Amino acid sequence: MEGVSSAALLQETLQGGTDDIAFQASLIWDAIRAPVVVPLLRLSVFLCLVMSVMLFVERVYMGVVIAFVKLLRRKPEKRYKWEPMKDDIELGNSVYPMILVQIPMFNEKEVYQLSIGSACGLSWPADRIIVQVLDDSTDPTIKDLVETECHKWASKGIDIKYEIRDNRNGYKAGALKEGLKRSYVRQCDFVVIFDADFQPEPDFLWRTVPFLIHNPEIGLVQARWKFVNADECLMTRIQEMSLDYHFTVEQEVGSSTYAFFGFNGTAGVWRIEALNEAGGWKDRTTVEDMDLAVRASLKGWKFLYVADVRVKNELPSTLKAYRYQQHRWSCGPANLFRKMVMEIIRNKKVTAWKKVHVIYSFFFVRKLVAHINTFVFYCVVLPATVLVPEVVVPKWGSVYIPSIVTLLNSVGTPRSFHLVSFWILFENVMAMHRTKGTIIGLLETSRVNEWIVTEKLGDAAKAKATSARQHKRPRLKIADRLHLLELGVGAYLFFCGTYDVFFGKNQFFIFLFLQAIAFCIVGFGYVGTVVSSS
């Protein structure tokens, strides 16, 4: 009896302690709720609604511009002079400008043959083009393979140069900068850049270079990307939707109105004069391409986007590769904005309207507000209002604006319209990493210059043919599979959704549960393809 009494007493004590902790927590919550939590949450809602309106206005404005561009059929050939290149009997091939094609590489075992072969297959007079392979590979076997491939094409009469460095200073920007220092580059008028997984069509130069020849004010001609593995998995389909909007709308608007947009780092033709006048390649951020584009624009050079010229390339199909890429693409622009905002303001060569476009639209709304508001509003603040019913989010901010923005974003990829719901949920998850990257870039903290080359798997068809070996679910360590940040946010959203079911009045629980599931799916690593390291 004494033992039973002791056990019962212990159980009663523990129960009492638990109740006491819950009671104390309740008292603390009641004490800070009205004077602290409610005002802070209301301020957060207000700021998020302001950012939502900014995004809404930006999207609607770009939608109106694109509508006019399409209705008026303002193709590049109508806005700028374009004439096909013609032979000259007297001058011979000297009538054609000298072209340098740069291919930066780093351990690109899966795609080096595709990229080198495509570059060497470009149609242009053989004595007026130089292919430059900039190999920063650290794997001796891969270096030997790339060098052998270059020798193979050289034996076929292609003027191809294999260039290596004894360091990786500046990463891609450093390699491109070093490549331009070679003596044979002095004879070149234009430089074309293709990343290692890009495969241009043979007529690429015939369709882009004439714009530069006949329009001396143009410093860059940018082609569109075409994704060879968009159908590989749901994650690549969703990436295609986001990037198609970028090309179909953002690039086209910048080209049609301000003749400015961010260089995509590849599939573009630069006038070497413009590149040099802008100060050349700099490695101060992880978006050296955007850095160069902004500096060239401030010198007065115009950019042209040619949507009809498409270059094949590969989307990252593993979650790990995509996360690294998105970190670089969000951290770099924020860091560049920090470094260049005053330089843009003080510039005297461009109009005030163009400065406003670059600072407000290009950087602030698209590179900062878009990432921060997507995660903070829909994954943090909106769920929190379920727990604090005193704070109300108007329906126009929680339903109407997001719906219109989503519809406008989906115009770039009509074939994937039925995947819009998945796109929303996945983009909200990735917004967490983009927000983190944006803050790192703005504050210039430890990971600000982290550069990890995006993993490539090579030809999608070949990958499917060997899917039994490459794309089966390999045995992974738990640490490699789990992503704690996603799981933590998923648990928070699930808690808010459950609270809304039993005590809330907002009826946000459907969205909260779906978003929680999306975070958990990503958190457990069930997104994209999983590639064995063997």
Query: Would you name the residues annotated as active-site residues?
Result: 136, 289
Nearest-angstrom CA–CA distance, 268 and 193: 6
Strands 190-193 and 218-227: unpaired
Q: Are 226 and 310 in contact (CB under 8 A)?
A: yes
Amino acid at 212: L
| Residues 19, 24, 26, 27, CA torsion sign | positive
Nearest-angstrom CA–CA distance, 94 and 74: 33
Q: Are 493 and 387 in contact (CB under 8 A)?
A: no
Long-range contacts, 67-74 (Cβ 8 Å, 24+): 69/252, 69/253, 69/256, 74/256
Nearest-angstrom CA–CA distance, 499 and 528: 32
Q: How many residues does the chain have?
A: 534
Q: Are 490 and 519 in contact (CB under 8 A)?
A: yes
390 φ, ψ (degrees, to nearest 5): -65, -25
DSSP-assigned states of every residue in 195-239: -TT-B--TTHHHHHHHHHHH-TTEEEEEEEEEETTTTSSHHHHHH
Q: Is 105 helix (H, G, I), strand (E, B) or coil?
A: strand
**Assigned token pair, 328:** 């670089």
In order of 26, 161, 268, 453, the CA distances from 225 in angstroms are 55, 26, 10, 18
The three-point CA angle 188-193-199 to 5° equals 125
Nearest-angstrom CA–CA distance, 135 and 130: 16
Nearest-angstrom CA–CA distance, 453 and 418: 32
